C-alpha cells in the first residue's frame, strides 16, 4: 500500500480512491480506539465516521511535517470527546451483570470479558482513558502519544500511571483480579 | 506499593534507558510487589489490546462515502440556493431600491433649494418682506414668518 503522504497528495489532486485507501488502512484502528473510548459499538462507528469526515474536509490543512497517524489519533480522540460530551454519555453500570461475565470467562482466567473491561475503562476520566487506549490498544510510544494529544511526555507518563492505578482499583472492587 | 512502581510502568512500556532497564530486570525478580504489579500490567495490556470489535469494512466505507456525497449535495444545494436567492433579489430589490433612490433625490433637491442660507436670507429680506430664520447648522428651519 502506498505511503500516507502519497495517498494524501493524490487525494488533494482529486483522486477519491486514494482517500478510500486511507480509510481502509486506518478504519480498524480508528473504530477500535473509538470503541475503547466510547464503550459501545454503535457510538464507536459514529465517532469513526465523524472522524473520517473531518479528515476528508481537513486534509488540505494537514501539515506534512507531522505524522498522519498522530493527526488521525488526535482527531479521533477529540471527536470521541465531543461526541460523548454531546450525548452526555453515561457508562453502563456493570454491577450485577459483571458476575455473569466474569464467570463466563472462567476457562481463561487471565482474559476479562469485554463488558468488564469496557465498564472499567468507562469509569476512568477521559484524559486518562485516551492515553491508556493509545498506549495499550494502539501500541503508541510516549513520544507518539505526546505528539498525538499535544501534551508533554511527563504528562503521558503520569496519566498512564494513574489510569492503571484507577483501573486496578476498579477491577479489584469488581472482584475481577483474583487470578491476575 | 514499591517505590519503583512508576519506573515499572516505564519498564513495561519499554521507555527506560538501558541502565535503568537492567536495574529493573533484576529488581522485579527480588521484589514480590513489583512482580505482582508486573503480572497485573501485562494482564491489563493483554485485555485492552484484545478488546477489539469486528466491523464490516465495506459497509463502513460505503456509509462514509454516502455521507460525503450527502454533504457535497447539501453544499451544492446551498450554493445554488444562494445563487437563486441572488437572482430573486436582483428581480425584486430594484423596486424598493429605485423608490428609495427617487426619495433621496427628491429630498436632496428640496434641501438643495436651501443650501445657501445666506443668499436665501438676503433674498427673502430684499425681495419679499419675509424674514427667514436660519439655524447655525446652515439648515433652514422656518420657525415662523414675520411680516413687516
Q: What pLDDT is stored for residue B92 in this prediction?
A: 63
Asked if the structure places residue B78 within a domain, the reply is no
Q: What Å distances lie between residue B23 and A15, A157, A171, B8, B9, CA to CA?
A: 53, 19, 30, 11, 14
Instruction: Give span(s): CATH 1.10.10.10, chain A.
Output: 96-173
Q: What pLDDT is stored for residue B125 in this prediction?
A: 53
Asked if the structure places residue B76 within a domain, the reply is no
Torsion, Cα A159 B42 B36 A174, to 10 degrees, reads 70
Q: Using alpha carbons, select from A77, A46, A67 the residue that is nearest to residue A159.
A: A77
How far is it, in rounded angstroms, from Cα B6 to Cα B56? 40
Q: What pLDDT is stored for residue B51 in this prediction?
A: 85
Q: What pLDDT is stored for residue B27 in this prediction?
A: 95
DSSP assignment string, B20-43: HHHHHHHHHHH-HHHHHHHHHHHH
The beta-carbon neighbor of A118 closest among B5, B51, B68 is: B51
Q: Do B105 and B123 lie in a common domain?
A: no
Judged by a CB distance cut-off of 8 A, whether residue A89 touches chain B is: no
CA distance A144 to chain B (A): 12
CA distance A85 to chain B (A): 22
Q: For residue A40, what is its C-alpha cell?
A: 459501545
Q: What pLDDT is stored for residue B144 in this prediction?
A: 46
- Judge contact between A21 and A55, C-beta under 8 A: no
Q: Do B95 and B124 lie in a common domain?
A: no
Helical spans, DSSP H, in chain A: 4-12, 16-38, 41-58, 68-87, 95-104, 114-123, 126-132, 142-149, 153-173
Q: What pLDDT is stored for residue B117 in this prediction?
A: 55
How far is it, in rounded angstroms, from Cα A111 to Cα A144? 27
Asked if the structure places residue B58 within a domain, the reply is no
Instruction: Give span(s): CATH 1.10.1740.10, chain A.
Output: 4-87
Q: Do B100 and B134 lie in a common domain?
A: no
How far is it, in rounded angstroms, from Cα B134 to Cα B124? 12
Q: What pLDDT is stored for residue B99 in this prediction?
A: 87
Q: Of residues B16 and B120, which shows the higher confidence score?
A: B16
The pLDDT tens digits for B18-77 are 999 999 999 999 999 999 999 999 999 998 998 888 888 899 999 999 999 998 888 888
Q: Do B121 and B109 lie in a common domain?
A: no
CA distance A161 to chain B (A): 7
Q: What pLDDT is stored for residue B147 in this prediction?
A: 44
The pLDDT tens digits for B94-112 are 777 888 888 988 888 876 6
The CATH T-level fold of domain A96-173 is Arc Repressor Mutant, subunit A (1.10.10)
Asked if the structure places residue B126 within a domain, the reply is yes
Asked if the structure places residue B75 within a domain, the reply is no
Q: For residue A48, what is its C-alpha cell?
A: 469513526
Q: What pLDDT is stored for residue B85 in this prediction?
A: 56
Q: What pLDDT is stored for residue B118 in this prediction?
A: 56
> How many domains would you assign to chain B?
3
Domain boundaries, position B11: 5-49
The beta-carbon neighbor of B43 closest among A24, A110, A142 is: A110
Q: Of residues A133 and B90, which shows the higher confidence score?
A: A133
Q: What pLDDT is stored for residue A127 in this prediction?
A: 96
In this structure, what DSSP letter does residue A136 have?
A: I
Q: Do B9 and B45 lie in a common domain?
A: yes
How far is it, in rounded angstroms, from Cα A153 to Cα B83? 51
The beta-carbon neighbor of B55 closest among A45, A117, A136 is: A45
How far is it, in rounded angstroms, from Cα A41 to Cα B81? 38
How far is it, in rounded angstroms, from Cα B49 to Cα B12? 14
The pLDDT tens digits for A80-131 are 999 999 986 554 444 444 444 433 344 454 567 778 888 899 999 999 999 9
Helix (H) or strand (E) holding B130: strand B130-131
How far is it, in rounded angstroms, from Cα A71 to Cα A144? 10
Q: Using alpha carbons, select from B36, B5, B52 the residue that is nearest to residue A179.
A: B36
Q: Do B13 and B41 lie in a common domain?
A: yes
Q: What pLDDT is stored for residue B113 in this prediction?
A: 57
Q: What pLDDT is stored for residue B50 in this prediction?
A: 87
Q: Do B12 and B41 lie in a common domain?
A: yes
Domain A4-87 has CATH 2.170.130.30: no
Asked if the structure places residue B73 within a domain, the reply is no
Question: Which of B10, B14, B45, B51 should one mutate to test binding to chain A, selecting the residue with the greatest count of A CBs within 10 A?
Answer: B51
How far is it, in rounded angstroms, from Cα A55 to Cα A71? 9
Between chain A and chain B, the number of residue pairs with CB atoms below 8 A apart is: 90
Put simply, the answer to whether A133 touches B48 (Cβ < 8 Å) is yes
Asked if the structure places residue B69 within a domain, the reply is no
Q: Can you count the helices (H) and strands (E) in chain B? A: 6, 2
How far is it, in rounded angstroms, from Cα B49 to Cα A137? 4
In this structure, what DSSP letter does residue A61 have?
A: G
Nearest chain B residue to A157, by CA: B10
Using pLDDT thresholds of 50, 70 and 90, give the confidence band for residue B93.
low
User: Please, what is the average pLDDT of chain B?
Assistant: 77
Average pLDDT, 10 consecutive residues per value, chain A (180 residues): 88 95 96 94 95 95 87 97 81 42 45 80 95 96 96 96 94 75
Q: Do B45 and B16 lie in a common domain?
A: yes
Amino acid at each position: 500500500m502506498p505511503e500516507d503522504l502519497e495517498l494524501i497528495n493524490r487525494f488533494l489532486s482529486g483522486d477519491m480512491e486514494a482517500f478510500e485507501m486511507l480509510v481502509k488502512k486506518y478504519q480498524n484502528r480508528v473504530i477500535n480506539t473509538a470503541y475503547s473510548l466510547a464503550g459501545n459499538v454503535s457510538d464507536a462507528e459514529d465517532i469513526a465516521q465523524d472522524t473520517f469526515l473531518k479528515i476528508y474536509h481537513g486534509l488540505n490543512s494537514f501539515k506534512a511535517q507531522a505524522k498522519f497517524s498522530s493527526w488521525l489519533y488526535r482527531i479521533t480522540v477529540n471527536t470521541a470527546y465531543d461526541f460523548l460530551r454531546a450525548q452526555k454519555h453515561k457508562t453502563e453500570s456493570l454491577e450485577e451483570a459483571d458476575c455473569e461475565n466474569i464467570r463466563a470467562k472462567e476457562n481463561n482466567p487471565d482474559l476479562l470479558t469485554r463488558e468488564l473491561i469496557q465498564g472499567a475503562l468507562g469509569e476512568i476520566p477521559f484524559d486518562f482513558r485516551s492515553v491508556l487506549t493509545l498506549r495499550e490498544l494502539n501500541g503508541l510510544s510516549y513520544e507518539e502519544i505526546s505528539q498525538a494529544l499535544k501534551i508533554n511526555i511527563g504528562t503521558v507518563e503520569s496519566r498512564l500511571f494513574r489510569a492503571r492505578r484507577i483501573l486496578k482499583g476498579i477491577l479489584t472492587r469488581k472482584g475481577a483480579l483474583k487470578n491476575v | 506499593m514499591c517505590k519503583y512502581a512508576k519506573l515499572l510502568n516505564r519498564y513495561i512500556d519499554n521507555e527506560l534507558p538501558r541502565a535503568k532497564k537492567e536495574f529493573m530486570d533484576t529488581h522485579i525478580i527480588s521484589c514480590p510487589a513489583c512482580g505482582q504489579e508486573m503480572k497485573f500490567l501485562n494482564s491489563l495490556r493483554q485485555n485492552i489490546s484484545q478488546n477489539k470489535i469486528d466491523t464490516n469494512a465495506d459497509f463502513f466505507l460505503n456509509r462514509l462515502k454516502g455521507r460525503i456525497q450527502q454533504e457535497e449535495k447539501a453544499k451544492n444545494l446551498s450554493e445554488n440556493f444562494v445563487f437563486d436567492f441572488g437572482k430573486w433579489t436582483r428581480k425584486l430589490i430594484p423596486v424598493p431600491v429605485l423608490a428609495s433612490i427617487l426619495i433621496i433625490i427628491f429630498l436632496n433637491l428640496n434641501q438643495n433649494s436651501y443650501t445657501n442660507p445666506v443668499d436665501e436670507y438676503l433674498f427673502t429680506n430684499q425681495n419679499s418682506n419675509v424674514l427667514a430664520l436660519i439655524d447655525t447648522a446652515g439648515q433652514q428651519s422656518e420657525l415662523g414668518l414675520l411680516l413687516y
